[in-house]
Amino acid sequence: MRVFLTGATGFIGSHIVPELLAAGHEVLGMTRSDKGAEALKAAGVAVHRGELEDPASLRAGAAKADAVIHTAFDHDFSRFVDNCDKDRRVIEALGDELKGSDRPLIITSGVGMGERQHGAPAIETVFNTGHANPRIASELAGSAVLEAGVDVRVVRLPQVHDSVKQGLISPFIGISRDKGVVAYVGDGLNVYSAAHVGDVAKLYALVLDKGRRGERYHAVAEEGIPLRRIAEAVGAGLGLPVTSISPEDAKAHFGWFALFAGLDLPASSELTRQRLGWTPVGPGLIDDLEKMDYAATVAG
């Protein structure tokens, strides 16, 4: 089938492209830049020029496709609430175009939306509509589009990593470098779930080919890695001291990242593995943090 992929030149989307091509699909990749267009052409992908701020361009891309995978997201976390609302509008626009057809729309969310209670791993069958994470706007929009008759499927992401990028941990590294110390909140036993970007890309392709309408899938390889362990790996890589700070001091130290620094985000992917036969094989998060070239990160 022909798949319209938003975020096709991004961290995750660029890894999804070869998975879709290997499965025999044709890819129509969205980009806003000439550089992105050249990269897509070199990868054997048809180019669609569009922007998240332009719903008409998104609808035009969806109109040309048999399925849509939406991975694009504005990762300026200092404007996280606004960007989550922008994602809501994008999902609504894509849903409007697909309404009345059987073409699937795969959207992206976070594993926290499956949280049951504090400390219990998030699961696929739960949608915590009262969750405080602003990213809930994406799943609420997806649920509304699903109720309107669109085949919506949700991929929930943990910290997606390789040895260059690591989701929220990448800005954490930048803050640590600027502050001259790597800090965690309290005892640092709150955890992040994680998965290697290659495994995540494979899951999106499986959700397209084997997923079902209305189901949620967790791209989780590691259920929970303590923030203290993450901080220790980052401290070793940067050559900086590692220390605990109190919850009261988190805002002053982390700025906007304080919203995430103390979160406890364990998540299970048991149902996802059972339903789709997904078996992650990539390196773990700590392995990638230990392999990372921190000097290149500082230089960049």
DSSP states of the chain: -EEEEETTTSTTHHHHHHHHHHTT-EEEEEESSHHHHHHHHHTT-EEEE--TT-HHHHHHHHHT-SEEEE------GGGHHHHHHHHHHHHHHHHHHHTTS--EEEEEEEGGGG--STTSPB-TT---TT-S-TTHHHHHHHHHHHHTT-EEEEEEE-EEE-SS-BTTHHHHHHHHHHHTSEEEETT---EEEEEEHHHHHHHHHHHHHH--TT-EEE--SEEEEEHHHHHHHHHHHHT--EEEE-GGGHHHHHGGGHHHHT--B-B--HHHHHHH-----SPPHHHHHHH--HHHHHH-
Q: What percent of the chain has pLDDT over 90?
A: 91
pLDDT at 297: 65
User: CA dihedral in degrees (244, 248, 254, 260; nearest 10)?
Assistant: 90
Q: Residue 131: what pLDDT?
A: 81
Beta-sheet pairing, 216-218 with 191-196: unpaired
Mean pLDDT along residues 53-68:
96
Angle at 130 between CA 86 and CA 248, to 5 degrees: 90
When pLDDT is averaged across residues 13-28 and rounded to a whole number, the result is: 97
> CA–CA separation, 245 vs 183, rounded Å?
6
Q: How far apart are CA 231 and CA 226, in angstroms?
A: 9
Query: Which band of pLDDT confidence, cut at 50, 70 and 90, is reported for residue 300?
Result: very low
Task: Calculate mean pLDDT across residues 126-148.
Answer: 93
Structural domains of the chain ordered from first start: 2-160+194-220 (3.40.50.720), 161-193+223-299 (3.90.25.10)
* Residue 47 pLDDT class (50, 70, 90 cuts): very high
Percent of the chain with pLDDT over 70: 98
Question: Residues 6 or more apart from 179 whose CB is under 8 A from it?
Answer: 253
CB 47 within 8 A of CB 37: yes
Task: Kindly report, residue by residue over 189-233, the tens digit of the pLDDT.
Answer: 999 999 999 999 999 999 999 999 999 999 999 999 999 999 999
- Top-confidence residue, 119 or 142: 142
Q: Is a pLDDT exceeding 70 seen at residue 45?
A: yes
Instruction: Indicate if the pLDDT at residue 298 is higher than 70.
Output: no
Residue 299 has pLDDT above 50, yes or no: no
Closest CA to 278 of 201, 180, 226, 215: 201
State the pLDDT at residue 105. 98
Q: What is the pLDDT of residues 76-132, one digit of tens each?
A: 877 889 999 999 999 999 999 999 999 999 999 999 999 987 778 999 999 998 888
